[in-house]
A and B are shown apart, each in its own frame.
Chain A
Amino acid sequence: MKKIIRSSAGKRGETIRSDCYIELEIKSSGGIKIDINSKVKSMYGDSIFNFIKDMCRFFGIKHASILIEDSGALPFTLAARFELAVKRIFPEREKEFLLPFNKNNLYKTKKDRLRRSRLYLPGDEPKFFINAGLHSPDGIILDLEDSVAPSEKDAAQILVRNALRSVDFYGAERMVRINQLPKGLEDLKFVVPHNVHVILIPKCESASQVIETEEEIEHLKKAHKIKNEIFIMPILESALGIIKAYEIASASKNICALAIGLEDYTADIGTQRTLEGRESFFARSMLINAAKAAGVQAIDTVFSDVSDMEGLRQSVVEAKALGFEGKGCIHPRQIKIVHEAFSPNEEEIEKAKKIVLAFEEAEKKGLGVVSLGSKMIDPPVVKRALRTIELAVINNKILDNWRNEL
């Protein structure tokens, strides 16, 4: 087999922003030659030049001809593209060029945190990463699966890894959707060591897939001495997945939520997805029931018409009524609508306040049973009331110190 000595990586063209295109050709002599074509050349030309030289040194490249067509790529993208070009020539090299962890990216997550909105970010599109967190989604999903072209799966792995270290998502839960198993297991080594919070398993159809994923995560955590918790969110997108919902939901204590994917599900049962959604009513109810039975959250599918904000609002209101606690978003503008639609109404808030006060009163008195008037209140009701109050506060519907205002 002829040895590959040339490779390319990244994107170029008039419409490309925040990305770059790199051609790498390994030579036998002549040192490193770097040709930079950049719209930020006068500002960052020297910095790009030195950066690439450092990377050559890191990967042990002594003689090469390198072309860089830069459309304003940030360092984490530039590094990912160059590393990819190197790895496409030397796939056996395991060495990773890791940029320092952004100090803001070390926060942790909790199993029962709010997951009202999760914003999908195509894993090979760095321009969408940078400002995603500014729109305040509860979570961002760096996607390695459907939004990435098969030929660029390797590109997305490296880019997503770099993004987890460098891009500030401003407190959003840091999720990654891996590819379908078994390929998805490969993806894990690019994300587990870099403070990923939740792994989404697409087209999940069995408890064993969850366990396989979990074992690989545990293995990588041990190898990299990772202490933080990593949760799992299986996405059920087939008739089989739905039927096995409870088995999946209860497969591991690390499962934090079940999500439903209706595009694939409706295709699987041989029908069309409608706005009304009658065709998926069973699947949604089944998933919600299984999730609640296993004590995890139920998360609804995405709403795919980004121009129909009213349709989105109604779909969230319906999802909330069914028992879902979150919705997938494919555009930042959807986030605010989703949050508003999930926020409790006045009646819900008033009821929740009474329950929370009764609960606190009972605790203070050391009573085992909470009661409101003549009615006994069960723990799940208290838990839900506390969540309602939390939602009311973050939606600015009541003040944090609402007790003082009574």
Chain B
Amino acid sequence: MKLIKNAAGRLVPLEANGLKQISFKGVNQYKPSGLKAKPPIRSCIDYPLDGNKVVKNLKEALSKSGLNDGMTISTHHHLRNGDALTNLLFDTIKRMGIKNLRWFPSASFPVHEHLIKYLEDGTIHHIEGSMNGPLGKFASEGKMRGTGVLRSHGGRYQAVQDGEVHIDIAVIASPTADEFGNANGVTGKSACGLLGFALADSEYADRVIVVTDNLVPFPCVPWQIQGNNVDFVVEVASLGDPTKIVSGTTEVTKSPDRLLIAEYVADFIEAAGIMKNGFSLQAGAGGTNLAFVLSLKEKMKANGIKARFMRGGSTKYLVEMLEEGLTDYILDGQTFDLEGVRSMRENPDHVNTSPFTSYNFHGKGNFASMVDVAVLGATEVDINFNANVVTHSDGYLLHGIGGWQNCLYSKCTILAIPSFRDRIPVIVDEVTTLCGPGELIDVIITERGIAINPLRKDLIKAVKKSSLPIKTIQEIKEEVDEICGGIPTKPKLDKDKVVAIVKWVDGTLLDSVFKVIS
């Protein structure tokens, strides 16, 4: 496979899965031109005039959609690890004898380990979407037929819009839907909050199948997915396991070290002057993130500060802030717990969003760059503030990008991470896989100190007089190397075998994931 060095100095292939690739040119250096992709013209007279698009089962919907070898099938991940539909979908496809599909999920979860047998037998050719857990391991060991493609949530919308990925059939798990195809995620036994990740699919796919376990008479209100984009509706007994769709147990970390990191994050946001009336923030899930929200909440209360909006991944902690009047709005990308679902259903100030509003590179602007501070995680950060979220230091692909790349555009991007995990340094010389260019990453907050990107002279100045433990990233790295007993050996990778490519938000190739030699 021919590889070239891109503008970030990383080796990337010229083509993947038979498609020509454009290498990363630098942040904000590449803008595709021309017209956006477009779905085929449909006419209402081809659909039942009574609006009833219900067909017998998934197989019939797939057949009527013209399912064929080599097609692209999309799914969304709002049901997270409780998703039963995707597995059912590929069981059905397998029985239909279809081969060589491109699976285009917005993310995958450990529950999708079930699909490994279809990757092995060629039902699925390759995955374009996050590969978490077992699927990541499968791909890392070079067992997938095609090359995996990793995109951010915004990058997925961009790829659909600029025609890089054409979806043949979108299958949209919908906790509530009517027979016309209007659908939402806030009601029904499998309620997951919202369906924003399926929005592009519903608008751009050739055929759209809505699958629900709660079919209601028209109209299904609210409708985040519009029935006017939907071809077929299928009713199934169950979309999945509700206890795993929303865990209901998203809890703050109890680890004193993670709590210390969370406290430093809140202290930093206050000391840097970011926490002021009308500010905005993005918080993800994960124990440390929840904890920082709680610390910040105390500070906001003590100082009489109110935010204009908060972006989630919503949890009960963000909901409490909304209900206690500490923020005017929650602009929510996905809902992590039952309180988040309830709030979205009941409170008009808890607003559903989508990658289009939040992250899309081909939008006329997006929310991500308007956020005052985003607090994110990472698996590795290097001394130039470049960060990795998809592979671990052992080279294995274990996480997706999610909205992480998109959020780097916030006015202040903070990575809140431990400086090492067990014996594995998180602050390294060079990241195993580059997912985020250092120029967009402003602050690294660890339990051993806070490193501010030298490019952000304003932030350095703002916290100069604080009592925060400000260090250089090099200092933190040296301390960690000493604790861990020296610089770890790099994983053994087969540089001739690219198992996955990492796209930047604009669709260019930022880095490659290589096969792990085990």
A residues near B (Cβ < 8 Å) are 17-18, 39-40, 42-47, 71-75, 102, 130-131, 134-135, 168, 331-333, 396
- Given that A130-B483, A331-B256, A396-B467 are contacting pairs, would A42 and B491 also be in contact in the complex, using a CB cutoff of 8 Å? yes
Q: Is B216's beta carbon under 8 Å from chain A? A: no
How far, in angstroms, from A366 to B448 measured CA to CA in the complex?
47
Residue of B nearest to A17 (CB): B422
How far, in angstroms, from A119 to B421 measured CA to CA in the complex?
22
How far, in angstroms, from A79 to B173 measured CA to CA in the complex?
53
Name 24 interchain pairs, CB-CB below 8 A, sorted by A: A17-B422, A18-B422, A40-B424, A40-B488, A42-B394, A42-B395, A42-B491, A43-B393, A43-B394, A43-B423, A43-B424, A43-B489, A47-B485, A73-B423, A74-B423, A74-B485, A130-B483, A131-B260, A134-B260, A135-B256, A135-B260, A332-B256, A332-B260, A333-B259
Which residues of B are found within 8 Å of A131, using beta-carbon distances? 256-257, 260, 447
Which residues of B are found within 8 Å of A396, using beta-carbon distances? 467
Q: Of the candidates A18, A43, A74, A332, which one forms a contact with B491 in the assembled complex, judged by CB atoms under 8 Å apart?
A: A43
Q: Of the candidates A43, A71, A134, which one forms a contact with B257 in the assembled complex, judged by CB atoms under 8 Å apart?
A: A134
| CB proximity of B258 to chain A, nearest CB, Å | 10
> B489 touching A74 by the CB < 8 A rule?
no
Which residues of B are found within 8 Å of A43, using beta-carbon distances? 393-394, 423-424, 488-489, 491
How far, in angstroms, from A399 to B406 measured CA to CA in the complex?
42
Residue of A nearest to B518 (CB): A42
Residue of A nearest to B485 (CB): A75
How far, in angstroms, from A103 to B147 measured CA to CA in the complex?
49
Which residues of B are found within 8 Å of A102, using beta-carbon distances? 482
> A40 touching B260 by the CB < 8 A rule?
no
Q: Is B89's beta carbon under 8 Å from chain A? A: no
Which residues of A are found within 8 Å of B467, using beta-carbon distances? 396
Supply 15 further A-B pairs (C-beta < 8 A) apart from A39-B422, A43-B393, A71-B422.
A17-B422, A40-B422, A40-B423, A43-B423, A43-B424, A44-B489, A46-B489, A72-B421, A72-B424, A73-B423, A74-B484, A130-B483, A131-B260, A135-B256, A168-B483
Q: Is B301's beta carbon under 8 Å from chain A? A: no
| CB proximity of B27 to chain A, nearest CB, Å | 30
Which residues of B are found within 8 Å of A44, using beta-carbon distances? 423, 484-485, 488-489
Which residues of A are found within 8 Å of B484, using beta-carbon distances? 44, 74
> B423 touching A72 by the CB < 8 A rule?
yes
Among B256, B257, B448, B492, chain A packs the most CB atoms within 10 A around the CB of B256
Which residues of A are found within 8 Å of B66, using beta-carbon distances? none
| CB proximity of A148 to chain B, nearest CB, Å | 21
How far, in angstroms, from A71 to B423 measured CA to CA in the complex?
9
Chain B, 468-510, CB within 8 A of any chain A CB: 482-486, 488-489, 491-492
How far, in angstroms, from A236 to B484 measured CA to CA in the complex?
39
How far, in angstroms, from A4 to B491 measured CA to CA in the complex?
39
Which residues of B are found within 8 Å of A331, using beta-carbon distances? 256
Which residues of A are found within 8 Å of B489, using beta-carbon distances? 42-47
Which residues of A are found within 8 Å of B395, using beta-carbon distances? 42
B residues near A (Cβ < 8 Å) are 256-257, 259-260, 393-395, 421-424, 447-448, 467, 482-486, 488-489, 491-492
Q: How many A-B residue pairs have CB under 8 A?
A: 62
How far, in angstroms, from A372 to B189 measured CA to CA in the complex?
75
> A134 touching B488 by the CB < 8 A rule?
no
Residue of B nearest to A134 (CB): B447
| CB proximity of B398 to chain A, nearest CB, Å | 13
Which residues of A are found within 8 Å of B423, using beta-carbon distances? 18, 40, 43-44, 72-74
How far, in angstroms, from A134 to B448 measured CA to CA in the complex?
7
Residue of B nearest to A79 (CB): B485
Residue of A nearest to B479 (CB): A168
| CB proximity of A11 to chain B, nearest CB, Å | 14
Which residues of B are found within 8 Å of A46, using beta-carbon distances? 489
How far, in angstroms, from A12 to B485 measured CA to CA in the complex?
21
Which residues of A are found within 8 Å of B424, using beta-carbon distances? 40, 43, 72
How far, in angstroms, from A284 to B95 measured CA to CA in the complex?
78
Among B395, B485, B491, chain A packs the most CB atoms within 10 A around the CB of B485
How far, in angstroms, from A102 to B489 measured CA to CA in the complex?
23
How far, in angstroms, from A135 to B393 measured CA to CA in the complex?
27
How far, in angstroms, from A388 to B467 measured CA to CA in the complex?
20
5 interchain residue pairs of minimum CB distance: A72-B422, A43-B488, A332-B256, A75-B485, A72-B423
Residue of A nearest to B487 (CB): A43
Among A45, A46, A131, A396, chain B packs the most CB atoms within 10 A around the CB of A131
Residue of B nearest to A70 (CB): B423
Which residues of A are found within 8 Å of B260, using beta-carbon distances? 131, 134-135, 332
How far, in angstroms, from A43 to B481 measured CA to CA in the complex?
12
Residue of B nearest to A73 (CB): B423
Residue of A nearest to B448 (CB): A134
| CB proximity of A125 to chain B, nearest CB, Å | 14
| CB proximity of B203 to chain A, nearest CB, Å | 43
Which residues of A are found within 8 Å of B482, using beta-carbon distances? 102
| CB proximity of B271 to chain A, nearest CB, Å | 12
Residue of A nearest to B424 (CB): A40
| CB proximity of B126 to chain A, nearest CB, Å | 25
Which residues of A are found within 8 Å of B447, using beta-carbon distances? 131, 134
How far, in angstroms, from A24 to B30 measured CA to CA in the complex?
59
Which residues of B are found within 8 Å of A42, using beta-carbon distances? 394-395, 489, 491-492
Which residues of A are found within 8 Å of B448, using beta-carbon distances? 134
Residue of A nearest to B422 (CB): A72
Residue of A nearest to B395 (CB): A42
How far, in angstroms, from A73 to B394 measured CA to CA in the complex?
17
Residue of B nearest to A331 (CB): B256
Residue of A nearest to B484 (CB): A74
Q: Of the candidates A18, A47, A71, which one forms a contact with B486 in the assembled complex, judged by CB atoms under 8 Å apart?
A: A47
Residue of A nearest to B491 (CB): A42
Which residues of A are found within 8 Å of B491, using beta-carbon distances? 42-43
Which residues of A are found within 8 Å of B483, using beta-carbon distances? 74, 130, 168
How far, in angstroms, from A17 to B422 measured CA to CA in the complex?
7
Among B486, B489, B491, chain A packs the most CB atoms within 10 A around the CB of B489
How far, in angstroms, from A72 to B256 measured CA to CA in the complex?
19
Residue of A nearest to B423 (CB): A72
How far, in angstroms, from A132 to B38 measured CA to CA in the complex?
58
How far, in angstroms, from A42 to B517 measured CA to CA in the complex?
10
How far, in angstroms, from A331 to B257 measured CA to CA in the complex?
11
How far, in angstroms, from A131 to B488 measured CA to CA in the complex?
20
How far, in angstroms, from A74 to B425 measured CA to CA in the complex?
12
Residue of B nearest to A99 (CB): B485
Which residues of A are found within 8 Å of B486, using beta-carbon distances? 47
Which residues of A are found within 8 Å of B421, using beta-carbon distances? 72
| CB proximity of B432 to chain A, nearest CB, Å | 11
| CB proximity of B422 to chain A, nearest CB, Å | 3
How far, in angstroms, from A44 to B482 measured CA to CA in the complex?
13
Which residues of A are found within 8 Å of B422, using beta-carbon distances? 17-18, 39-40, 71-72
How far, in angstroms, from A45 to B447 measured CA to CA in the complex?
26
How far, in angstroms, from A45 to B485 measured CA to CA in the complex?
12
| CB proximity of A312 to chain B, nearest CB, Å | 14
How far, in angstroms, from A135 to B261 measured CA to CA in the complex?
11
Residue of A nearest to B418 (CB): A131
How far, in angstroms, from A71 to B259 measured CA to CA in the complex?
23
| CB proximity of B153 to chain A, nearest CB, Å | 30
Residue of B nearest to A41 (CB): B394
Residue of B nearest to A127 (CB): B422
How far, in angstroms, from A374 to B447 measured CA to CA in the complex?
51
Among A43, A74, A102, A131, chain B packs the most CB atoms within 10 A around the CB of A43
Residue of B nearest to A103 (CB): B482
Which residues of B are found within 8 Å of A71, using beta-carbon distances? 422
Which residues of A are found within 8 Å of B492, using beta-carbon distances? 42
| CB proximity of A90 to chain B, nearest CB, Å | 26
Which residues of B are found within 8 Å of A39, using beta-carbon distances? 422
| CB proximity of A37 to chain B, nearest CB, Å | 14
Among B423, B484, B486, chain A packs the most CB atoms within 10 A around the CB of B423
Residue of B nearest to A136 (CB): B260
How far, in angstroms, from A2 to B228 measured CA to CA in the complex?
84
How far, in angstroms, from A332 to B484 measured CA to CA in the complex?
22
